[in-house]
Structure 1
């Protein structure tokens, strides 16, 4: 666990986002210390995934600020005003914030090894031989050393998600974001993905995990957050969150997911 006097590694202030006339985030403040795991719970449509996409610089916020290691990201200052970064500069900042999606998002025409390598060679400009070595090591780390040359169509959903985790890890991200990483999996495949995530937590990876896996949140999270209606309405340690939730909406939600 990190020293609470440290600056948070990732912090957002007053994050707001609407789609058309539908406000999805209405002013979210969030921070995570290095080495923490934060689990984010809440009903569908409450803004959880949108927050992750904004933090990963995959979408642009309508208002608010995002800081990584105390430096504001996603924008550059020009003559006293903040303007969006160029796509090239944005790609380099994105590489510091890994994202694992619900639906894997692997390239179907690339095998597991090349899916893991592609970010290193295109964004980090890593030499192909070095990228291949690192990709093999990372596939071994997620238990897929013997599946390097398999294509996504030849892998189970759990194996595809582990390839996606390896693809994020090889970029050596400072923070790793997970957007319901097990919700598209058959129940018997969920455990193999959660096992990899738990090992990452033990190794000190900083993670924000949007999930409905309550037992995972209880075991692994440093803190658990409850999202509802575009706001974070409750945030506490797992013992408090699950044992004595303060907000009526949290109590109602937990009664349905338990």
Structure 2
């Protein structure tokens, strides 16, 4: 095979979305929360998702992270369907043991930090490595310290959550997700539970991750962060994506009236 033919053969894989959802649907008690949502992200992209409360954006992240089953549609990671399989002509959800294995490749950071209060920061970060991946205590500690250093908290490794500020706890939570080396990081309103003066330290860490090439989907109300860091910005409303565009177009020349109304309030 010639070099040019080899390059041509590899091109589709390079352009393929790393995470792709198609026709994603979810309802609670008969109320549709997601209505046939299509969404994708490529390696190294940062996508910001905006929208009013209850619009479905956080639900989309939870389905992507395999924390809840969808009611329809598909989720593909690097071209492979995750969360479900075809069995005797119908789609069925995977058992928990397989879901747990697939979740390792998708990092999730929540509004609340969900740290174990009885463990110091380094042990909170280590836990996924030792309990999920079976990494030795010594190696897990080394990797956890590397991640704490990456989020600027190596000097707080032995501090318990109660001894850390909200911003520091959220940075430990980011380190905990990063240590499993996920292909994609999902952030669900990571600064909404923080006092205003602590928001910046978390956004700085996220901006550094983006600069390092981390693939990220960020549900957020931080418009400045979205305009500065995101490759693309989406507006969710009523369980659908109303508009998605590059930040400059989204914020300065939106096409949809709903987007214009939303931005008039957040600005």
Give the one of 122, 145, 154 matched to 2:131. Answer: 122
- The Cα RMSD (Å) is 1.4
Partner of 1:71 in structure 2?
80
Deviations 1:105-162 (A, max 9, x none): 1111111011101111111111111000000111011000110111111110000000
Distance 1:3 1:149, change over 3 A: farther
Partner of 2:152 in structure 1?
143
TM-score (norm 2): 0.94
Give the one of 22, 33, 39 matched to 1:30. Answer: 39
Displacement of 1:4 in angstroms is 10
TM-score (norm 1): 0.97
Deviations 1:26-72 (A, max 9, x none): 11000000000000000000000000000000000000100000000
Give the one of 81, 84, 102 matched to 2:111. Answer: 102
Q: Distance in 1 between matches of 2:251 and 2:164?
A: 35
Q: Distance in 2 between matches of 1:20 and 1:189?
A: 37
Report if aligned partners of 1:55, 1:66 keep a CA contact under 8 Å in 2. Answer: yes
Partner of 2:50 in structure 1?
41
Please tell me whether Structure 1 or Structure 2 has the larger radius of gyration of its CA atoms. Answer: 2
Q: Distance in 2 between matches of 1:97 and 1:188?
A: 29
Q: Distance in 2 between matches of 1:76 and 1:126?
A: 29
Give the one of 151, 155, 162 matched to 1:153. Answer: 162
Report if aligned partners of 1:102, 1:180 keep a CA contact under 8 Å in 2. Answer: yes
Report if aligned partners of 1:4, 1:33 keep a CA contact under 8 Å in 2. Answer: no
Deviations 1:163-212 (A, max 9, x none): 00000000000000000000100000000000000000000000000000
Partner of 1:218 in structure 2?
227
SS of residue matched to 1:204: coil
Displacement of 1:5 in angstroms is 6.2
SS of residue matched to 1:34: coil
SS of residue matched to 1:44: coil
* Alignment length (residue pairs): 257
SS of residue matched to 1:59: coil
Deviations 1:75-131 (A, max 9, x none): 233334332212111111001000000011111111101110111111111111100
Give the one of 189, 201, 204 matched to 1:195. Answer: 204
Partner of 1:245 in structure 2?
254
Q: Distance in 2 between matches of 1:51 and 1:78?
A: 24
Of 172-181 and 119-128, more deviation after overlay is shown by 119-128
Q: Distance in 1 between matches of 2:199 and 2:212?
A: 20
